Structure 1
Amino acid sequence: MTVRATDARRAAVLGSPIAHSLSPVLHRAAYRELGLGAWTYDRFEVDEESLAGFLGGLGPEWAGLSLTMPLKRAVIPLLDEISGTAASVEAVNTVVVAEDGRRTGDNTDIPGMVAALRERGIEQVDSAAVLGAGATASSALAALARICTGEVVAYVRSAERAAEMRRWGERLGVDVRTADWTDAAEALRAPLVVATTPAGTTDALAVAVPERPATLFDVLYDPWPTRLAARWSASGGAVVGGLDLLVHQAVLQVEQMTGCRPAPLDAMRRAGERALAAR
Protein backbone atom coordinates (compact mmCIF):
# COMPACT_ATOMS: atom_id res chain seq x y z
CA MET A 1 0.00 0.00 0.00
CA THR A 2 1.37 3.41 -1.01
CA VAL A 3 0.42 6.11 1.48
CA ARG A 4 0.33 9.77 0.46
CA ALA A 5 0.10 12.51 3.07
CA THR A 6 -2.81 14.01 1.17
CA ASP A 7 -4.87 10.81 1.30
CA ALA A 8 -7.86 11.22 3.61
CA ARG A 9 -8.03 7.94 5.52
CA ARG A 10 -9.86 6.98 8.69
CA ALA A 11 -9.10 4.71 11.62
CA ALA A 12 -10.61 4.33 15.08
CA VAL A 13 -10.73 2.35 18.30
CA LEU A 14 -13.94 0.49 19.16
CA GLY A 15 -15.07 -0.89 22.50
CA SER A 16 -17.36 -0.47 25.48
CA PRO A 17 -16.53 1.44 27.60
CA ILE A 18 -14.21 3.46 25.37
CA ALA A 19 -13.95 7.01 26.78
CA HIS A 20 -10.78 6.15 28.72
CA SER A 21 -8.85 4.85 25.69
CA LEU A 22 -5.44 6.37 24.98
CA SER A 23 -5.36 4.94 21.47
CA PRO A 24 -6.47 8.20 19.78
CA VAL A 25 -3.64 10.07 21.50
CA LEU A 26 -1.04 7.54 20.35
CA HIS A 27 -2.23 7.12 16.77
CA ARG A 28 -2.74 10.84 16.18
CA ALA A 29 0.78 11.50 17.47
CA ALA A 30 2.06 8.96 14.95
CA TYR A 31 0.14 10.60 12.10
CA ARG A 32 1.59 14.01 12.98
CA GLU A 33 5.12 12.62 13.09
CA LEU A 34 4.65 10.74 9.81
CA GLY A 35 3.19 13.77 8.07
CA LEU A 36 -0.19 12.12 7.47
CA GLY A 37 -2.13 15.32 7.89
CA ALA A 38 -5.30 14.02 6.25
CA TRP A 39 -5.55 10.91 8.43
CA THR A 40 -7.99 10.85 11.33
CA TYR A 41 -8.35 8.50 14.29
CA ASP A 42 -11.45 8.49 16.50
CA ARG A 43 -13.10 6.43 19.22
CA PHE A 44 -16.55 4.84 19.06
CA GLU A 45 -18.66 3.22 21.76
CA VAL A 46 -19.47 -0.14 20.17
CA ASP A 47 -20.65 -3.28 21.95
CA GLU A 48 -20.98 -6.83 20.67
CA GLU A 49 -24.54 -6.30 19.44
CA SER A 50 -23.69 -3.23 17.34
CA LEU A 51 -20.33 -4.43 16.00
CA ALA A 52 -21.60 -6.11 12.83
CA GLY A 53 -23.58 -3.02 11.87
CA PHE A 54 -20.57 -0.76 12.42
CA LEU A 55 -18.31 -2.93 10.28
CA GLY A 56 -20.96 -3.13 7.59
CA GLY A 57 -21.01 0.65 7.36
CA LEU A 58 -17.29 1.09 6.71
CA GLY A 59 -16.56 2.91 3.47
CA PRO A 60 -13.46 2.92 1.23
CA GLU A 61 -11.88 5.68 3.31
CA TRP A 62 -11.29 3.31 6.22
CA ALA A 63 -7.77 1.95 6.82
CA GLY A 64 -8.19 0.06 10.07
CA LEU A 65 -9.59 -0.42 13.54
CA SER A 66 -8.23 -1.02 17.01
CA LEU A 67 -10.43 -3.19 19.21
CA THR A 68 -10.69 -3.40 22.96
CA MET A 69 -13.06 -5.27 25.26
CA PRO A 70 -15.55 -6.78 24.70
CA LEU A 71 -14.93 -7.04 20.95
CA LYS A 72 -11.67 -8.96 20.58
CA ARG A 73 -13.37 -12.34 20.19
CA ALA A 74 -16.73 -11.18 18.87
CA VAL A 75 -15.13 -9.67 15.77
CA ILE A 76 -13.55 -12.92 14.53
CA PRO A 77 -16.54 -14.34 12.59
CA LEU A 78 -17.03 -10.92 10.95
CA LEU A 79 -13.59 -10.91 9.32
CA ASP A 80 -12.30 -12.35 6.07
CA GLU A 81 -9.08 -13.63 7.62
CA ILE A 82 -7.14 -13.61 10.90
CA SER A 83 -3.45 -14.07 11.54
CA GLY A 84 -1.95 -17.10 13.24
CA THR A 85 -1.06 -14.92 16.22
CA ALA A 86 -4.68 -13.84 16.67
CA ALA A 87 -5.93 -17.39 16.17
CA SER A 88 -3.57 -18.72 18.83
CA VAL A 89 -5.43 -16.81 21.57
CA GLU A 90 -8.77 -16.36 19.80
CA ALA A 91 -8.46 -12.57 20.15
CA VAL A 92 -8.18 -9.79 17.58
CA ASN A 93 -7.21 -6.27 18.59
CA THR A 94 -6.34 -4.97 15.11
CA VAL A 95 -8.34 -4.95 11.89
CA VAL A 96 -6.71 -3.78 8.67
CA VAL A 97 -9.12 -2.78 5.91
CA ALA A 98 -7.72 -3.28 2.42
CA GLU A 99 -8.58 -1.07 -0.54
CA ASP A 100 -10.95 -3.76 -1.83
CA GLY A 101 -12.74 -3.83 1.54
CA ARG A 102 -11.21 -7.10 2.72
CA ARG A 103 -10.88 -7.15 6.53
CA THR A 104 -7.93 -8.92 8.15
CA GLY A 105 -7.57 -9.38 11.92
CA ASP A 106 -4.37 -9.55 13.91
CA ASN A 107 -3.23 -9.44 17.54
CA THR A 108 -0.51 -6.90 18.28
CA ASP A 109 -0.76 -7.32 22.07
CA ILE A 110 1.42 -10.45 21.95
CA PRO A 111 4.35 -9.08 19.91
CA GLY A 112 3.83 -5.79 21.76
CA MET A 113 4.53 -7.53 25.07
CA VAL A 114 7.64 -9.16 23.65
CA ALA A 115 8.87 -5.84 22.23
CA ALA A 116 8.25 -4.01 25.51
CA LEU A 117 10.31 -6.59 27.39
CA ARG A 118 13.10 -6.57 24.81
CA GLU A 119 13.30 -2.79 25.07
CA ARG A 120 14.24 -3.33 28.73
CA GLY A 121 16.79 -6.00 27.84
CA ILE A 122 14.61 -9.03 28.60
CA GLU A 123 15.24 -11.37 25.67
CA GLN A 124 14.80 -14.70 27.45
CA VAL A 125 13.94 -16.05 30.90
CA ASP A 126 14.12 -19.59 32.26
CA SER A 127 10.85 -19.29 34.23
CA ALA A 128 8.06 -16.81 34.90
CA ALA A 129 4.94 -16.17 36.97
CA VAL A 130 1.59 -14.82 35.78
CA LEU A 131 -0.82 -13.13 38.17
CA GLY A 132 -4.39 -13.58 36.96
CA ALA A 133 -6.21 -15.71 34.42
CA GLY A 134 -8.27 -13.42 32.20
CA ALA A 135 -7.95 -12.56 28.51
CA THR A 136 -4.73 -10.62 29.07
CA ALA A 137 -3.23 -13.61 30.86
CA SER A 138 -3.69 -15.78 27.77
CA SER A 139 -1.89 -13.13 25.69
CA ALA A 140 0.85 -13.10 28.32
CA LEU A 141 1.23 -16.87 27.94
CA ALA A 142 1.49 -16.46 24.17
CA ALA A 143 4.23 -13.86 24.66
CA LEU A 144 6.02 -16.07 27.18
CA ALA A 145 5.92 -18.92 24.65
CA ARG A 146 8.39 -16.82 22.67
CA ILE A 147 10.83 -15.92 25.46
CA CYS A 148 10.44 -18.36 28.38
CA THR A 149 12.36 -21.61 28.18
CA GLY A 150 10.94 -23.21 31.32
CA GLU A 151 7.90 -23.33 33.59
CA VAL A 152 5.28 -20.62 33.96
CA VAL A 153 3.32 -20.59 37.20
CA ALA A 154 -0.12 -18.98 36.99
CA TYR A 155 -1.67 -17.74 40.24
CA VAL A 156 -5.46 -17.88 40.07
CA ARG A 157 -8.53 -17.71 42.29
CA SER A 158 -10.55 -20.75 41.20
CA ALA A 159 -10.21 -24.30 39.92
CA GLU A 160 -12.07 -23.26 36.76
CA ARG A 161 -9.54 -20.53 36.03
CA ALA A 162 -6.69 -22.91 36.79
CA ALA A 163 -7.99 -25.44 34.28
CA GLU A 164 -8.42 -22.68 31.70
CA MET A 165 -4.82 -21.52 32.09
CA ARG A 166 -3.53 -25.09 31.76
CA ARG A 167 -5.54 -25.49 28.57
CA TRP A 168 -4.04 -22.30 27.18
CA GLY A 169 -0.60 -23.56 28.11
CA GLU A 170 -1.16 -26.81 26.21
CA ARG A 171 -2.47 -24.92 23.21
CA LEU A 172 0.40 -22.42 23.16
CA GLY A 173 3.16 -24.86 23.97
CA VAL A 174 3.91 -23.40 27.40
CA ASP A 175 4.66 -25.51 30.48
CA VAL A 176 2.00 -24.06 32.82
CA ARG A 177 1.60 -24.98 36.47
CA THR A 178 -1.18 -23.35 38.46
CA ALA A 179 -1.20 -22.20 42.08
CA ASP A 180 -3.79 -20.65 44.35
CA TRP A 181 -3.97 -16.87 44.61
CA THR A 182 -3.41 -17.11 48.37
CA ASP A 183 0.18 -18.08 47.56
CA ALA A 184 0.72 -15.22 45.10
CA ALA A 185 3.50 -13.70 47.22
CA GLU A 186 5.67 -16.61 46.08
CA ALA A 187 5.31 -15.37 42.49
CA LEU A 188 7.35 -12.29 43.27
CA ARG A 189 10.58 -14.31 43.40
CA ALA A 190 10.31 -15.35 39.75
CA PRO A 191 12.77 -13.93 37.16
CA LEU A 192 9.78 -12.34 35.41
CA VAL A 193 6.41 -11.57 36.97
CA VAL A 194 3.52 -10.58 34.67
CA ALA A 195 0.60 -8.95 36.51
CA THR A 196 -2.57 -9.07 34.39
CA THR A 197 -5.15 -8.31 37.07
CA PRO A 198 -7.50 -5.29 37.43
CA ALA A 199 -6.54 -2.16 39.36
CA GLY A 200 -6.08 -2.73 43.09
CA THR A 201 -5.87 -6.52 42.91
CA THR A 202 -2.12 -6.73 43.56
CA ASP A 203 -1.91 -3.88 46.09
CA ALA A 204 -1.69 -6.27 49.04
CA LEU A 205 1.33 -7.97 47.47
CA ALA A 206 3.47 -4.84 47.64
CA VAL A 207 4.65 -5.66 51.17
CA ALA A 208 5.95 -9.03 49.93
CA VAL A 209 8.33 -7.66 47.26
CA PRO A 210 11.71 -9.35 47.87
CA GLU A 211 14.87 -7.40 48.68
CA ARG A 212 16.28 -7.97 45.20
CA PRO A 213 13.37 -8.33 42.79
CA ALA A 214 14.00 -9.16 39.14
CA THR A 215 11.50 -7.89 36.52
CA LEU A 216 7.83 -6.97 36.88
CA PHE A 217 5.58 -6.45 33.87
CA ASP A 218 2.40 -4.79 35.16
CA VAL A 219 -0.09 -4.35 32.30
CA LEU A 220 -1.97 -1.48 33.98
CA TYR A 221 -1.25 2.12 33.01
CA ASP A 222 -3.93 4.11 34.84
CA PRO A 223 -3.56 4.57 37.75
CA TRP A 224 0.21 4.38 37.55
CA PRO A 225 2.32 3.33 39.24
CA THR A 226 0.41 0.58 40.99
CA ARG A 227 1.44 -0.05 44.59
CA LEU A 228 3.20 -3.21 43.51
CA ALA A 229 5.09 -1.43 40.71
CA ALA A 230 6.10 1.44 43.00
CA ARG A 231 7.43 -0.89 45.69
CA TRP A 232 9.16 -3.03 43.06
CA SER A 233 10.95 -0.04 41.56
CA ALA A 234 11.90 1.31 45.00
CA SER A 235 13.48 -2.06 45.76
CA GLY A 236 15.67 -1.83 42.67
CA GLY A 237 13.72 -4.12 40.38
CA ALA A 238 13.05 -3.50 36.69
CA VAL A 239 9.48 -2.47 35.87
CA VAL A 240 7.73 -2.63 32.51
CA GLY A 241 4.37 -0.87 32.60
CA GLY A 242 1.09 -0.91 30.77
CA LEU A 243 1.97 2.21 28.81
CA ASP A 244 5.00 0.38 27.41
CA LEU A 245 2.68 -2.37 26.20
CA LEU A 246 0.10 0.07 24.88
CA VAL A 247 2.68 2.01 22.89
CA HIS A 248 4.42 -1.03 21.42
CA GLN A 249 1.17 -2.67 20.30
CA ALA A 250 0.01 0.67 18.85
CA VAL A 251 3.28 1.01 16.92
CA LEU A 252 2.52 -2.28 15.20
CA GLN A 253 -1.04 -1.16 14.48
CA VAL A 254 0.13 2.10 12.91
CA GLU A 255 2.61 0.24 10.73
CA GLN A 256 -0.05 -2.21 9.52
CA MET A 257 -2.72 0.41 8.88
CA THR A 258 -0.54 3.05 7.20
CA GLY A 259 2.21 0.92 5.66
CA CYS A 260 4.75 3.37 7.14
CA ARG A 261 7.68 1.70 8.91
CA PRO A 262 9.03 2.30 11.44
CA ALA A 263 6.25 4.02 13.35
CA PRO A 264 7.47 6.83 15.67
CA LEU A 265 7.72 4.96 18.98
CA ASP A 266 9.26 7.81 20.99
CA ALA A 267 6.75 10.44 19.83
CA MET A 268 3.87 8.09 20.61
CA ARG A 269 5.21 7.34 24.08
CA ARG A 270 5.69 11.03 24.87
CA ALA A 271 2.12 11.74 23.80
CA GLY A 272 0.84 8.95 26.02
CA GLU A 273 2.85 10.16 28.99
CA ARG A 274 1.50 13.71 28.59
CA ALA A 275 -2.07 12.47 28.35
CA LEU A 276 -1.75 10.35 31.48
CA ALA A 277 -0.12 13.19 33.40
CA ALA A 278 -3.06 15.43 32.52
CA ARG A 279 -5.66 13.01 33.95
Structure 2
Amino acid sequence: MTVPTAEVPTGSLLEVWGDPIAHSLSPRIHAAAYAALGWDWSYGRRRVAAADFSRELGGLGAAFRGLSLTFPLKTEAFAAATHRDRTAELTGAVNTLVRVGGQWRGFNTDVGGIVGDVRAHGLDAIETGRIVGAGATATSALVALAQLGARTVEVVARRPDAAHALAELGERLSVAVSIAAPDTVAPASVPLTVSTLPGGAALPDDTSRRIASDGGLLYDVVYGHWPTPLAVAWQAAGAPAVNGLGMLVRQAVLQIRAFRTGDVDEPLPDEGAVVDIMARALMGD
Protein backbone atom coordinates (compact mmCIF):
# COMPACT_ATOMS: atom_id res chain seq x y z
CA MET A 1 0.00 0.00 0.00
CA THR A 2 1.25 3.48 -0.86
CA VAL A 3 -0.04 6.93 -0.14
CA PRO A 4 0.00 9.95 -2.47
CA THR A 5 3.50 11.20 -3.15
CA ALA A 6 4.22 14.65 -1.78
CA GLU A 7 6.60 17.09 -3.41
CA VAL A 8 9.82 16.86 -1.40
CA PRO A 9 13.55 17.20 -2.14
CA THR A 10 15.00 13.99 -3.56
CA GLY A 11 18.04 12.13 -2.37
CA SER A 12 17.94 13.46 1.18
CA LEU A 13 20.18 11.73 3.74
CA LEU A 14 19.07 11.23 7.34
CA GLU A 15 20.44 9.25 10.28
CA VAL A 16 19.79 8.38 13.90
CA TRP A 17 22.73 8.98 16.24
CA GLY A 18 23.39 7.66 19.71
CA ASP A 19 25.66 5.50 21.83
CA PRO A 20 24.78 2.64 21.77
CA ILE A 21 22.77 2.66 18.55
CA ALA A 22 22.78 -0.85 17.03
CA HIS A 23 19.51 -1.67 18.82
CA SER A 24 17.61 1.29 17.34
CA LEU A 25 14.34 0.47 15.57
CA SER A 26 14.16 3.91 13.97
CA PRO A 27 15.69 2.92 10.60
CA ARG A 28 13.03 0.25 10.17
CA ILE A 29 10.06 2.53 10.73
CA HIS A 30 11.48 5.53 8.87
CA ALA A 31 12.31 3.39 5.84
CA ALA A 32 8.77 2.00 5.80
CA ALA A 33 7.31 5.51 5.89
CA TYR A 34 9.54 6.84 3.12
CA ALA A 35 8.74 3.87 0.88
CA ALA A 36 5.01 4.36 1.44
CA LEU A 37 5.28 8.07 0.70
CA GLY A 38 7.35 7.45 -2.42
CA TRP A 39 10.25 9.58 -1.18
CA ASP A 40 13.83 8.97 -2.29
CA TRP A 41 15.25 9.35 1.22
CA SER A 42 17.91 7.29 2.98
CA TYR A 43 17.86 6.80 6.77
CA GLY A 44 20.80 5.12 8.51
CA ARG A 45 22.31 4.86 11.96
CA ARG A 46 25.62 6.06 13.38
CA ARG A 47 27.23 5.45 16.74
CA VAL A 48 28.27 8.84 18.11
CA ALA A 49 29.53 9.51 21.62
CA ALA A 50 28.67 12.80 23.31
CA ALA A 51 32.29 13.93 23.15
CA ASP A 52 32.33 13.44 19.36
CA PHE A 53 28.99 15.06 18.56
CA SER A 54 30.21 18.51 17.51
CA ARG A 55 32.91 17.08 15.24
CA GLU A 56 30.51 14.63 13.59
CA LEU A 57 27.85 17.29 13.09
CA GLY A 58 30.33 19.72 11.60
CA GLY A 59 31.52 17.07 9.15
CA LEU A 60 28.13 16.41 7.57
CA GLY A 61 27.84 17.15 3.87
CA ALA A 62 25.15 19.26 2.25
CA ALA A 63 23.12 16.17 1.33
CA PHE A 64 22.21 15.60 5.01
CA ARG A 65 18.74 16.94 5.69
CA GLY A 66 18.28 15.96 9.31
CA LEU A 67 19.07 13.75 12.29
CA SER A 68 17.26 11.83 14.99
CA LEU A 69 19.09 11.92 18.32
CA THR A 70 18.87 9.47 21.18
CA PHE A 71 20.86 8.86 24.37
CA PRO A 72 23.24 10.53 25.19
CA LEU A 73 23.03 13.30 22.57
CA LYS A 74 19.84 15.26 23.27
CA THR A 75 21.60 17.90 25.34
CA GLU A 76 24.33 18.30 22.73
CA ALA A 77 21.71 18.62 19.99
CA PHE A 78 19.90 21.26 22.04
CA ALA A 79 23.09 23.31 22.21
CA ALA A 80 23.71 22.90 18.47
CA ALA A 81 20.27 24.11 17.39
CA THR A 82 20.02 27.72 16.26
CA HIS A 83 16.22 27.67 16.60
CA ARG A 84 14.20 25.38 18.90
CA ASP A 85 10.51 24.61 19.27
CA ARG A 86 8.73 25.25 22.56
CA THR A 87 8.88 21.66 23.76
CA ALA A 88 12.64 21.63 23.22
CA GLU A 89 13.00 24.88 25.16
CA LEU A 90 10.87 23.57 28.01
CA THR A 91 12.68 20.24 28.30
CA GLY A 92 16.21 21.34 27.44
CA ALA A 93 16.39 18.39 25.03
CA VAL A 94 16.39 18.03 21.24
CA ASN A 95 15.80 14.66 19.60
CA THR A 96 15.41 16.02 16.05
CA LEU A 97 17.65 18.34 14.06
CA VAL A 98 16.56 19.66 10.66
CA ARG A 99 18.79 21.69 8.38
CA VAL A 100 16.89 24.79 7.24
CA GLY A 101 18.64 27.57 5.38
CA GLY A 102 22.04 26.24 6.37
CA GLN A 103 21.21 26.21 10.08
CA TRP A 104 20.01 23.48 12.43
CA ARG A 105 16.47 23.74 13.77
CA GLY A 106 15.78 21.64 16.90
CA PHE A 107 12.64 19.84 18.02
CA ASN A 108 11.61 17.56 20.87
CA THR A 109 9.09 15.15 19.34
CA ASP A 110 9.13 12.81 22.35
CA VAL A 111 6.49 15.00 24.01
CA GLY A 112 4.13 14.83 21.05
CA GLY A 113 4.81 11.09 20.77
CA ILE A 114 3.59 10.52 24.32
CA VAL A 115 0.55 12.77 23.87
CA GLY A 116 -0.46 11.16 20.58
CA ASP A 117 -0.13 7.61 21.83
CA VAL A 118 -1.91 8.25 25.14
CA ARG A 119 -4.81 9.69 23.15
CA ALA A 120 -4.73 6.64 20.88
CA HIS A 121 -5.31 4.57 24.04
CA GLY A 122 -8.47 6.50 24.85
CA LEU A 123 -7.32 9.31 27.16
CA ASP A 124 -8.01 12.61 25.43
CA ALA A 125 -7.82 14.83 28.51
CA ILE A 126 -6.85 14.47 32.17
CA GLU A 127 -6.82 16.72 35.19
CA THR A 128 -4.20 14.88 37.24
CA GLY A 129 -1.50 12.29 36.71
CA ARG A 130 1.56 10.59 38.14
CA ILE A 131 5.12 10.20 36.86
CA VAL A 132 7.42 7.47 38.13
CA GLY A 133 11.06 8.49 37.83
CA ALA A 134 12.79 11.87 37.75
CA GLY A 135 15.38 11.54 34.98
CA ALA A 136 15.55 13.32 31.62
CA THR A 137 12.58 11.46 30.16
CA ALA A 138 10.41 12.56 33.08
CA THR A 139 10.78 16.13 31.84
CA SER A 140 9.17 15.22 28.51
CA ALA A 141 6.51 13.24 30.38
CA LEU A 142 5.61 16.27 32.50
CA VAL A 143 5.24 18.52 29.45
CA ALA A 144 3.11 15.81 27.81
CA LEU A 145 0.82 15.58 30.86
CA ALA A 146 0.44 19.36 30.80
CA GLN A 147 -0.54 19.21 27.13
CA LEU A 148 -3.13 16.57 28.02
CA GLY A 149 -4.63 19.03 30.51
CA ALA A 150 -3.14 17.92 33.84
CA ARG A 151 -2.96 20.61 36.51
CA THR A 152 -1.63 18.44 39.33
CA VAL A 153 1.09 15.80 38.93
CA GLU A 154 2.78 13.61 41.53
CA VAL A 155 6.35 12.54 40.85
CA VAL A 156 7.53 9.34 42.52
CA ALA A 157 11.31 9.57 42.70
CA ARG A 158 13.83 7.25 44.31
CA ARG A 159 15.96 10.38 44.82
CA PRO A 160 13.46 13.16 45.60
CA ASP A 161 16.18 15.82 45.35
CA ALA A 162 16.48 14.96 41.65
CA ALA A 163 12.84 15.96 41.11
CA HIS A 164 13.21 19.59 42.14
CA ALA A 165 13.81 20.63 38.53
CA LEU A 166 10.48 19.03 37.63
CA ALA A 167 8.72 21.11 40.28
CA GLU A 168 10.29 24.24 38.80
CA LEU A 169 9.20 23.21 35.31
CA GLY A 170 5.71 22.61 36.66
CA GLU A 171 5.54 26.25 37.72
CA ARG A 172 6.29 27.31 34.14
CA LEU A 173 3.54 25.00 32.90
CA SER A 174 0.99 26.02 35.56
CA VAL A 175 1.09 22.46 36.89
CA ALA A 176 1.35 21.82 40.63
CA VAL A 177 4.04 19.15 41.06
CA SER A 178 4.34 17.20 44.30
CA ILE A 179 7.22 14.85 45.03
CA ALA A 180 7.08 11.57 46.93
CA ALA A 181 9.69 8.97 47.78
CA PRO A 182 8.68 5.36 46.98
CA ASP A 183 8.30 4.47 50.67
CA THR A 184 6.03 7.44 51.37
CA VAL A 185 3.79 7.59 48.30
CA ALA A 186 0.13 7.13 49.20
CA PRO A 187 -2.57 5.48 47.07
CA ALA A 188 -4.33 8.04 44.90
CA SER A 189 -6.81 7.71 42.07
CA VAL A 190 -5.28 9.02 38.85
CA PRO A 191 -6.30 8.26 35.26
CA LEU A 192 -2.72 8.02 33.97
CA THR A 193 0.65 6.96 35.37
CA VAL A 194 3.70 7.48 33.17
CA SER A 195 6.76 5.42 34.05
CA THR A 196 10.12 6.76 32.89
CA LEU A 197 12.23 4.23 34.79
CA PRO A 198 14.99 2.56 32.75
CA GLY A 199 14.30 -0.96 31.55
CA GLY A 200 14.73 -3.46 34.36
CA ALA A 201 14.60 -0.82 37.10
CA ALA A 202 12.03 -1.52 39.80
CA LEU A 203 10.28 0.11 42.72
CA PRO A 204 9.84 -1.84 45.97
CA ASP A 205 7.08 -4.42 45.56
CA ASP A 206 4.82 -2.81 48.14
CA THR A 207 5.11 0.57 46.41
CA SER A 208 4.31 -0.94 43.02
CA ARG A 209 1.22 -2.67 44.41
CA ARG A 210 0.11 0.50 46.19
CA ILE A 211 0.24 2.77 43.15
CA ALA A 212 -1.09 0.10 40.78
CA SER A 213 -4.29 -0.32 42.78
CA ASP A 214 -5.86 2.88 41.42
CA GLY A 215 -3.23 4.29 39.08
CA GLY A 216 -5.24 4.24 35.88
CA LEU A 217 -3.48 3.45 32.63
CA LEU A 218 0.23 2.70 33.05
CA TYR A 219 2.07 4.24 30.13
CA ASP A 220 5.60 2.86 30.32
CA VAL A 221 8.02 4.53 27.92
CA VAL A 222 10.19 1.38 27.91
CA TYR A 223 9.69 -1.06 25.04
CA GLY A 224 12.88 -3.15 24.94
CA HIS A 225 12.39 -4.81 28.35
CA TRP A 226 8.71 -5.73 28.38
CA PRO A 227 6.92 -6.32 30.61
CA THR A 228 8.75 -4.12 33.09
CA PRO A 229 8.49 -4.90 36.82
CA LEU A 230 6.00 -2.04 37.18
CA ALA A 231 3.90 -3.37 34.30
CA VAL A 232 3.79 -6.77 36.00
CA ALA A 233 2.40 -5.11 39.12
CA TRP A 234 -0.23 -3.32 37.04
CA GLN A 235 -1.24 -6.54 35.30
CA ALA A 236 -1.49 -8.34 38.65
CA ALA A 237 -3.89 -5.60 39.79
CA GLY A 238 -5.99 -6.10 36.67
CA ALA A 239 -5.12 -2.63 35.41
CA PRO A 240 -4.12 -1.68 31.84
CA ALA A 241 -0.43 -1.26 30.98
CA VAL A 242 1.12 -0.39 27.62
CA ASN A 243 4.71 0.02 26.47
CA GLY A 244 6.36 2.82 24.53
CA LEU A 245 6.31 1.31 21.04
CA GLY A 246 3.41 3.54 20.04
CA MET A 247 5.33 6.57 21.29
CA LEU A 248 8.29 5.51 19.13
CA VAL A 249 6.09 5.49 16.03
CA ARG A 250 4.26 8.73 16.77
CA GLN A 251 7.37 10.72 17.65
CA ALA A 252 8.90 9.45 14.40
CA VAL A 253 5.88 10.73 12.47
CA LEU A 254 6.50 14.17 13.94
CA GLN A 255 10.17 13.88 12.98
CA ILE A 256 9.22 13.08 9.39
CA ARG A 257 6.91 16.10 9.31
CA ALA A 258 9.84 18.24 10.45
CA PHE A 259 12.22 16.64 7.94
CA ARG A 260 9.74 17.38 5.16
CA THR A 261 8.87 21.02 5.82
CA GLY A 262 10.62 22.16 9.00
CA ASP A 263 7.19 22.22 10.67
CA VAL A 264 5.97 19.48 13.04
CA ASP A 265 2.40 20.75 12.78
CA GLU A 266 1.89 20.06 9.06
CA PRO A 267 0.49 16.51 8.64
CA LEU A 268 1.86 14.04 6.12
CA PRO A 269 -0.23 12.97 3.14
CA ASP A 270 -2.76 10.34 4.31
CA GLU A 271 -0.99 10.29 7.65
CA GLY A 272 -3.24 7.66 9.22
CA ALA A 273 -2.17 5.15 6.59
CA VAL A 274 1.48 6.06 7.12
CA VAL A 275 1.16 5.49 10.88
CA ASP A 276 -0.36 2.04 10.24
CA ILE A 277 2.44 1.12 7.86
CA MET A 278 5.10 2.22 10.35
CA ALA A 279 3.44 0.28 13.17
CA ARG A 280 3.32 -2.89 11.06
CA ALA A 281 6.98 -2.45 10.10
CA LEU A 282 7.86 -2.13 13.78
CA MET A 283 6.24 -5.48 14.47
CA GLY A 284 8.05 -7.07 11.51
CA ASP A 285 4.97 -7.33 9.25
TM tier, smaller: 0.7 to 0.9
1:128 alignment counterpart = 129
1:210-221 alignment, distance < 5 Å: 210=212, 214-221=216-223
Q: Does the C-alpha gap of structure 1 residues 8 and 18 become closer, same or farther in structure 2, counting only changes over 3 Å?
A: same
Shift of 1:210: 4.8
Shift of 1:209: 6.4
Matched, 1:29 2:32: yes
Pairs aligned (count): 270
Matched, 1:3 2:2: no
Q: Does the C-alpha gap of structure 1 residues 131 and 209 become closer, same or farther in structure 2, counting only changes over 3 Å?
A: closer
**Residue 83 of structure 1 contacts residue 105 of structure 1 at CA under 8 Å; is this kept in 2?**
yes
SS at match of 2:187: helix
SS at match of 1:182: coil
Q: Does the C-alpha gap of structure 1 residues 59 and 261 become closer, same or farther in structure 2, counting only changes over 3 Å?
A: farther
Give distance in 2, aligned partners of 1:150 and 1:271. 36
1:274 alignment counterpart = 284
Shift of 1:112: 1.1
Shift of 1:229: 2.4
Moved more, 74-83 or 38-47: 74-83
1:1-279 alignment, distance < 5 Å: 2-3=7-8, 7-36=10-39, 38-98=40-100, 100-184=101-185, 186=187, 189-202=189-202, 204=205, 207-208=209-210, 210=212, 214-233=216-235, 235-259=237-261, 260-263=268-271, 264-274=274-284
User: Identity of aligned pairs, percent?
Assistant: 39
Please, what TM-score do these two structures have when normalized by structure 1? 0.88
Q: Does the C-alpha gap of structure 1 residues 184 and 30 become closer, same or farther in structure 2, counting only changes over 3 Å?
A: farther
Shift of 1:57: 1.6
Contiguous gaps of at least 5 residues in structure 1? none
Give distance in 2, aligned partners of 1:238 and 1:124. 17
SS at match of 2:74: coil
Contiguous gaps of at least 5 residues in structure 2? 1-5, 262-267
**Residue 131 of structure 1 contacts residue 184 of structure 1 at CA under 8 Å; is this kept in 2?**
no
Please, what TM-score do these two structures have when normalized by structure 2? 0.86
Q: Which amino acid aligns with 2:283?
A: E
Shift of 1:172: 2.8
List per-residue Cα deviations over 1:223-244 (Å, max 9, x = no partner). 2222432453465433332101
C-alpha root-mean-square deviation of aligned residues, in Å? 2.3
